[in-house]
């Protein structure tokens, strides 16, 4: 019996080991023979694609273009891997498998170890706090520095932040977290998030509004103002606060007789629940769920007002993108949105989670096209002067220099 089971046990352990420690390099042809003096490993262990992943992808591409020996490690079959494949960029991938609430991540540790050993990595740049634990273990074996970009204002357990070589906050409030002495972080800085600004700045329309929505979404918009919100329909439905927006629309449409087309870009587990809510509020014909799409630039161009109702937001890249299209902005106060929307200057702020306040701000903009244009132009100038990707990349590169030399 033992002799029969032994091969099965061996095969089972082999398959488990193979799955746990799956690690693959996906190279692409390149003529670049430059000798790199700074080698950066960027990690992103998220499967879905959001603002942090936009940041990761843009950072990786910018470092490559600016002469760094950049490598990237992503989760196997993640959306970020698909984006890298589409853009024919080289990358490493691993199977995501964690034990005991992410305290033990054998696949991630193994992958980082192999990449550092092969590429003489100087800096491991993490984008999610849980990635710092295996990175710190590697740092005990190799002379590498650990940097974390924090995209979330919430503070995790001390063990994730403690003794980092560098901490980047994507807004001033998050950067302030890194100054806490209990974390013993060596270098701390605020650097605005980076994003793919070129496709917004270089956009030229090729179709009318009517034709665009008909061809791409089989949608015929009514001759009403177009509101747009870019936000995933996440499990935590109150994070982006879609329910508040739907209630505000119901008040505008059903009580004030102010008709609007509302476009919701993004997808997630709460989509069906939100669709049901539009029916209960009798606004289903005014709200259109467009899902995930690569047509964000065009949608923003053909919209009149961009809105973000989040209760919590680290920064709001989607607002920056709308500003580059010279669209007026509406957002909630008391969070990272205030770094972009300066009330009455670059947009309108409503009282966080306050229905009447949100309704008031939407109504003001809908009824005043001159104000729409003024705020849109102001938002564009403000973003170009303060949140240029080129400026942020330069700050990150200078930060790397500081980290490596300390």
Q: How confident is the model at residue 1 (pLDDT cuts 50, 70, 90)?
A: very low
Tell me, yes or no, whether 250 and 342 share the same domain.
Answer: yes
Query: Do both 365 and 224 map to the same domain?
Result: yes
Q: pTM of the prediction?
A: 0.81
Bridge partner residues of 69 (DSSP) = 39
Query: Would residue 260 count as lying in a domain?
Result: yes
pLDDT tens-digit series, residues 133-183 = 999 999 998 899 999 999 888 888 899 999 999 999 999 989 999 999 999
Q: Is position 380 within any domain? A: yes
Is pLDDT larger for residue 4 or for residue 352? 352
Structural domain range at position 273: 198-386
| CATH for 287 | 3.40.50.2000
Tokens of 385: 């002067």
Both 180 and 219 in one domain: the answer is no
Listed residue (118, 114, 108, 41) closest to 75, CA to CA? 108
Tally the domains of the chain: 2
Q: Are residues 244 and 225 in the same domain?
A: yes
Distance in angstroms (rounded) separating the CA atoms of residues 325 and 114: 43
Using 50, 70 and 90 to split pLDDT, how confident is the model at 31? very low
pLDDT band at 37 (very low <50, low <70, confident <90, very high): low
Q: Report yes or no on 347 lying in a domain.
A: yes
Same domain, yes or no: 246 and 353? yes
Is the domain of 246 the same as that of 381? yes
- Regarding whether 182 and 243 lie in a shared domain, the answer is no
pLDDT higher than 50, residue 10? no
Report the distance separating Cα 54 and Cα 69, nearest Å.
20
Same domain, 219 and 346: yes
Residue 246 within any structural domain of the chain: yes
Instruction: State whether 74 and 167 are in the same domain.
Output: yes
Domain membership of residue 107 (yes or no) is: yes
Is residue 254 very low, low, confident or very high in pLDDT (cuts 50, 70, 90)?
A: very high
pLDDT tens-digit map of 209-231: 999 999 999 999 999 999 999 99
Task: Mark whether 182 and 216 lie in a shared domain.
Answer: no
Q: Can you give the pLDDT at residue 34?
A: 45
The answer on 288 and 146 residing in a single domain is: no
Q: Would you tell me the crossing angle of helices 51-65 and 79-86 to the nearest 10 degrees?
A: 30
Q: Within a domain: residue 4? A: no
Residue 269 dihedral angles phi and psi, to the nearest 5°: -65, -15
Same domain, 253 and 348: yes
């Amino acid at each position: 019996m033992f002799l029969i089971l032994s091969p099965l046990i061996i095969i089972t352990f082999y398959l488990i080991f193979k799955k746990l420690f799956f690690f693959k390099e996906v190279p692409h042809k390149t003529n670049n023979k430059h000798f790199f003096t700074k080698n950066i490993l960027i990690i992103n262990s998220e499967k879905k694609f959001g603002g942090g992943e936009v940041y990761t992808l843009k950072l990786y591409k910018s470092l490559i273009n600016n002469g760094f020996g950049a490598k990237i490690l992503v989760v196997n079959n993640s959306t970020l891997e698909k984006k890298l494949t589409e853009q024919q960029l080289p990358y490493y991938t691993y199977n995501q498998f964690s034990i005991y609430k992410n305290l033990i991540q054998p696949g991630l540790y193994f992958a980082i170890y192999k990449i550092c050993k092969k590429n003489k990595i100087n800096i491991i740049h993490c984008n999610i706090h849980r990635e710092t634990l295996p990175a710190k273990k590697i740092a005990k074996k190799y002379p590498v520095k650990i940097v974390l970009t924090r995209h979330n204002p919430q503070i995790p357990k001390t063990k994730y932040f403690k003794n980092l070589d560098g901490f980047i906050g994507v807004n001033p409030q998050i950067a302030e977290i890194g100054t806490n002495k209990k974390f013993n972080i060596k270098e701390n800085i605020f650097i605005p998030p980076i994003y793919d600004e070129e496709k917004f700045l270089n956009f030229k329309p090729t179709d009318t509004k009517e034709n665009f929505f008909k061809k791409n979404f089989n949608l015929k918009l009514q001759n009403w103002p177009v509101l747009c919100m870019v936000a995933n329909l996440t499990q935590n439905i109150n994070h982006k606060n879609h329910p508040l927006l739907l209630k505000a629309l119901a008040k505008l449409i059903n009580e004030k007789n102010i008709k609007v087309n509302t476009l919701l870009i993004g997808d997630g587990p709460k989509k069906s629940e939100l669709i049901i809510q539009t029916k209960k509020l009798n606004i289903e014909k005014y709200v259109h769920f467009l899902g995930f799409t690569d047509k964000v630039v065009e949608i923003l161009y053909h919209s009149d007002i961009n809105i973000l109702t989040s209760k919590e937001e680290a920064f709001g890249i989607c607002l920056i993108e709308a500003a580059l299209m010279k669209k007026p902005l509406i957002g909630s106060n008391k969070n990272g949105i205030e770094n972009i929307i300066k009330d009455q200057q670059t947009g309108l702020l409503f009282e966080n989670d306050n229905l009447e306040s949100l309704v008031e701000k939407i109504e003001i903009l809908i009824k005043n096209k001159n104000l729409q244009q003024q705020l849109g132009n102001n938002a564009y100038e403000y973003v170009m002067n303060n949140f240029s990707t080129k400026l942020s990349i330069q700050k990150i590169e200078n930060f790397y220099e500081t980290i490596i030399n300390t």
